[in-house]
Amino acid sequence: MNKIICIDFDGTLMDPATGIIPKSSVEAIQTLKANGHIPVIATGRNLYLLDDHPQQLGIDHVIGSNGAFIVSKGELIHERPMQKNAIFPLIEALKAAKIDYTFSSHDRYVTHQMFGEDIHGFSDHFNMKHPEIDPTFNAYDHIYQINIFTQADLPERLIQSSPFDFLRASFNGYDVIEGVLYKEAGIAALKELWHLNDDQIVAIGDGMNDIGMIQYAPLGIAMGNAQEPVKKAADYVTDSVIHDGLSKALKHFNFI
């Protein structure tokens, strides 16, 4: 039976310290496909922030913005945008507190202004583009994710007053999405659209936003460089991204 291998991008496919995808991972994806399995990128990034990596890897399917949309062979087949009317008060509260944020749609990564250096630090840490600065941005109809940048914890009143879910996903930021399910919601949608059996699904990741999909999948794999809670959630822990962890995991389970 072919497997649907849902693979995180940062820290799983790509080494964030260098921005390089190990040769072993590129070869593993090719062999995975040759063996009849289907690789799917499951990432917190949108398509704009993935650049042309999916095309270079030959991966046709992306679960993006932490499960908020799915693109398959260039076609949007599922989306879960954020409530437009609830975005405005959240942004006004962040502006008043001088806390930085960004919006992710399909093809834009944008902010109104920057108060500090946390956005730059986040972008540099993950080797990705810095956001476009557009003070007039108000296209809230198809926002899939908001990222909030602060090393301090957000005020509890701000979180409680919003209908969105806030996940402390990095040292200096939160992922904010519609609903309480992240990448696992995207996988569940893909399962329904493709009429998959439970045991076809495999999830591999390293970050806090990967815990849900690792627990959701019948086989959940954590990278060796994963944070400890991610490793505890996994069925199997492989090597780190820079030591061919993805390839080793796929070989361990005879997928390649």
CB contact at 8 A, 149 and 125: no
**Could you give the CA distance from residue 145 to residue 177 in angstroms, rounded to a whole number?**
5
Least reliable range by pLDDT among 35-39, 122-126, 144-148, 241-245: 122-126
Structure tokens at 6: 């849902």
| Among candidate residues 177, 213, 168, the one with its CA nearest the CA of residue 65 | 177
Query: Does 135 lie in the same domain as 13?
Result: no
Query: Does 224 lie in the same domain as 198?
Result: yes
Query: Does 28 lie in the same domain as 75?
Result: yes
Number of structural domains in the chain: 2
The burial class, CB within 10 Å (0-12 / 13-18 / 19+), for 47 is buried
pLDDT at 118 over 80: yes
Residue 199 — left, alpha, or beta (φ > 0 → left; ψ -120 to 50 → alpha)?
alpha
**Could you give the CA distance from residue 176 to residue 247 in angstroms, rounded to a whole number?**
31
Query: Does 196 lie in the same domain as 169?
Result: no
Q: How large is the C-alpha radius of gyration of the chain?
A: 18
pLDDT score at 166: 96
**Could you give the CA distance from residue 201 to residue 216 in angstroms, rounded to a whole number?**
9
Q: pTM of the prediction?
A: 0.95
pLDDT score at 38: 98
End residue of a domain, out of 121, 150, 177: 177
End residue of a domain, out of 116, 147, 177: 177
- CATH number of the domain to which 129 belongs: 3.30.1240.10
| Among candidate residues 138, 51, 78, the one with its CA nearest the CA of residue 103 | 138
Say what angle helices 23-34 and 245-252 make with each other, to 10 degrees.
30
Distances (CA, A) of 205 to 12, 42, 67, 135, 195: 6, 9, 14, 35, 23
Structure tokens at 218: 């019948």
DSSP-assigned beta bridge partners for residue 147: 102, 175
Model confidence pLDDT, tens digit, residues 164-175: 999 998 888 899
Q: Domain limits at 154? A: 84-177
| Among candidate residues 75, 14, 10, the one with its CA nearest the CA of residue 45 | 10
What's the pLDDT band for 106 if we cut at 50, 70, 90? confident
pLDDT score at 172: 86
pLDDT at 117 over 90: no
Model confidence pLDDT, tens digit, residues 27-75: 999 999 999 999 999 999 999 999 999 999 999 999 999 999 999 999 9
**Could you give the CA distance from residue 195 to residue 193 in angstroms, rounded to a whole number?**
6
pLDDT score at 159: 94
Model confidence pLDDT, tens digit, residues 176-223: 999 889 999 999 999 999 999 999 999 999 999 999 999 999 999 999
DSSP-assigned beta bridge partners for residue 43: none
Q: What is the mean pLDDT of the chain?
A: 95
DSSP-assigned beta bridge partners for residue 79: 69
pLDDT at 232 over 90: yes
Within the chain, what is the greatest distance between any pair of CA atoms? Answer: 54
Query: Does 247 lie in the same domain as 218?
Result: yes
